[in-house]
Structure 1
């Protein structure tokens, strides 16, 4: 199989890292992934030391990225060869073939729509090996463990969902985003159908795929609704999708491409900056507000051992938003923390709750929460941030609290997603493989051809 790697120039890691493990000359020799060295950014809060502000190396905004690290073990996942990652060109150069049937598959988490859905939703969540990673010898315990945890956690989770109306609004919002994306694509002369596939609740990814087949789609763009890539979010959905494709002759021969992450895109960054700037103006003294980016956390081992690029992408995303705000003369202090940890293992730090307490101790009086990893309102914004973290902030001495809304159907954001889809179309099927190749070719030295786990990631243009 020919693996096409386009524009693979990447910034060099720090010299200290290079001396321990030199960068291979070819991306095809890379065995491990993620994280270029990060340098701590000098915080800008006068008199207040804020942890979690990091500076990542900025990558070219239209590139194929080969990532590496000193992780002890390479990724061990089933073959990903039958899905294709995309690089892009400018929108104006895209030819649209009238006879083709274009589809866009939006991937998202899913959420219980009623209180009765909560326990089975939690079971689906914890039965995913990308959420709870068990050693190979104990994988037979995955479903029994998921059943135990889901039953144990269901009562508390039901209380949370009851407090926001009895169920998650995620499906309704994602359906609305899909419709707005469809309208935007048609307005840009791309008559595409848009489908929604949820990982853990209806409409499941399998349901969306069946509809795609019934509609006779010939070109498919797969777009996870997670700005930053993680093996536990986009990676899990794409791994499921790969297994579906691998066993279906129609799908494996259908032209398709994947946009694995899009946190660098100009429209996304601008939309986040717009919403943040608007919310800052609701404070009496906007310039004194600390901007508090809260991202969904992942276990630390995902980053340090499994090579998840999530932390590096999240930190770069925050920097890009702050750079956009600085262009508007907004130079507020800011920090990044990670929420929603569960279980006894260590997760990415700093933790959101601990950071809020620490900021209160250091005299911060005004805090603006920005849910950085969420594009839709759901339990973690409406209950965890709006209720739990707000209450914690007020108890910690923070007097003024605000929260930036999730992007939802914000038009600049939706239009930019449409542009991302259009930009990916020239590469639909460009690296497609036959069913035989998909079954025969798994990985070379731990490198998967698609790179949806961060090994080779083809970025859609952010210009």
Structure 2
């Protein structure tokens, strides 16, 4: 993993210890983005170039796999199950919420993330329609940080707008996340749920992340097996093609196609991020309250401090 154990470097060391000579690189991001899969591939590229054992490692990369049948069916299965929990499933708005990326990545660097995300949502809805679900749906982007423009529409703003339009039942689908973490368990389950109720939405549901769902895991295994003939061979697949076998390529080829400028990327979003996102505001407020509490304890226990100096605290005795 990039930001927790086992780190990429640790996995590479294990690969070397095991004497592995061929690799299939499978980023666990369904859709490709310069800031996610691309960032991970950048790290691999630098490690490969600096290590004698790895420099000639035969490998192939599966850059994205959002269009695979097994993945689409797994997402539809989980969504259908949650829809059935509503009294009137046909009245539920399906709300796809994806992790956002800076707008400049898409408009200036040619990041395919937005196009792949929209196609992914369409494929899931097509699968649901085959099962008799013709619910209204929308897509928005969450987890933005910093002052730069990110992909719109934003999840928080869209939830408020849906409430104003009279939507009463909402089913959130974390479309770009394959496991549960702070952005699903806190941002969606707590912050966005609370915002939805404040905005007039009366019924709320959330599709769980894929985790170890059988259809999903089997499909990932199939993707790896299908890619084995390409290990060590020049991939000839069109990167823009949408085939049953995901487009393959080497680390260098994919970075040249998707991320040729190698721009500096923003740091990973962490729970203590200081800024103007809804999550950041929550933690900024909690930090401020702790600071005020610590100040008051200091004043009361020592009789010294800023409040005593300006003569405020004695007034309350």
TM-score (norm 2): 0.75
The structure with the largest helix share of the pair is: 2
Secondary structure of residue in 2 paired with 1:370: strand
* More contact order relative to length (CA 8 Å, sep ≥ 6): 1
Q: How does 1:416-435 map onto structure 2 within 5 Å?
A: 416-431=219-234
| Alignment partner of 1:278 is 2:76 | no
- Structure label with greater radius of gyration: 2
CA drift at 1:225: 0.4
CA drift at 1:343: 0.9
CA drift at 1:454: 4.8
Q: Deviations over 1:89-115 (max 9, x none)?
A: xxxxxxxxxxxxxxxxxxxxxxxxxxx
Contact residue 45 and residue 252 of structure 2 kept, 8 A = no
CA drift at 1:335: 0.1
CA 1:452/1:416 → structure 2, altered by over 3 Å: closer, same or farther?
farther
- 90, 99, 103: which one pairs with 1:300? 103
Secondary structure of residue in 2 paired with 1:225: coil
| Displaced runs of 4 or more, over 6 A | none
CA drift at 1:370: 0.1
Q: Report what 2:158 is aligned to.
A: 355
- 132, 139, 147: which one pairs with 1:336? 139
Q: Distance in 2 between matches of 1:255 and 1:237?
A: 18
Q: Report what 1:218 is aligned to.
A: 21
- 314, 335, 340: which one pairs with 2:117? 314
Contact residue 291 and residue 332 of structure 1 kept, 8 A = yes
Q: Distance in 2 between matches of 1:206 and 1:269?
A: 31
Q: Distance in 2 between matches of 1:231 and 1:455?
A: 7
Contact residue 338 and residue 348 of structure 1 kept, 8 A = yes
Contact residue 256 and residue 429 of structure 1 kept, 8 A = yes
Q: Distance in 2 between matches of 1:454 and 1:378?
A: 30
Secondary structure of residue in 1 paired with 2:153: coil
| Alignment partner of 1:377 is 2:164 | no
Q: Distance in 2 between matches of 1:334 and 1:300?
A: 23
Contact residue 111 and residue 258 of structure 2 kept, 8 A = no
Contact residue 27 and residue 62 of structure 2 kept, 8 A = yes
Q: Report what 1:254 is aligned to.
A: 57
Contact residue 307 and residue 454 of structure 1 kept, 8 A = no
Q: Distance in 2 between matches of 1:413 and 1:454?
A: 27
CA drift at 1:449: 5.2
Q: How does 1:37-116 map onto structure 2 within 5 Å?
A: none
Flag structure 1 segments of 5+ consecutive residues without an equivalent. 1-197, 433-447, 457-463
CA drift at 1:453: 6.4
Count how many residue pairs are aligned between Structure 1 and Structure 2.
244
- 252, 266, 279: which one pairs with 2:69? 266
Secondary structure of residue in 2 paired with 1:251: coil
- Cα root mean square deviation, aligned: 1.4
Q: Report what 2:12 is aligned to.
A: 209
CA drift at 1:329: 1.1
CA drift at 1:223: 0.5
CA 1:291/1:453 → structure 2, altered by over 3 Å: closer, same or farther?
farther
CA drift at 1:455: 4.0
CA drift at 1:344: 1.0
CA drift at 1:202: 2.0
- 414, 436, 445: which one pairs with 2:217? 414
Q: Distance in 1 between matches of 2:132 and 2:161?
A: 27
Contact residue 353 and residue 389 of structure 1 kept, 8 A = yes
Secondary structure of residue in 2 paired with 1:252: coil
Contact residue 263 and residue 313 of structure 1 kept, 8 A = yes
Q: Distance in 2 between matches of 1:402 and 1:385?
A: 10
| Alignment partner of 1:236 is 2:39 | yes
CA drift at 1:452: 3.9
CA 1:346/1:453 → structure 2, altered by over 3 Å: closer, same or farther?
farther
| Alignment partner of 1:404 is 2:207 | yes
CA 1:392/1:265 → structure 2, altered by over 3 Å: closer, same or farther?
same
Q: How does 1:385-400 map onto structure 2 within 5 Å?
A: 385-400=188-203
Q: Distance in 2 between matches of 1:218 and 1:411?
A: 29
Flag structure 2 segments of 5+ consecutive residues without an equivalent. 236-250, 260-317
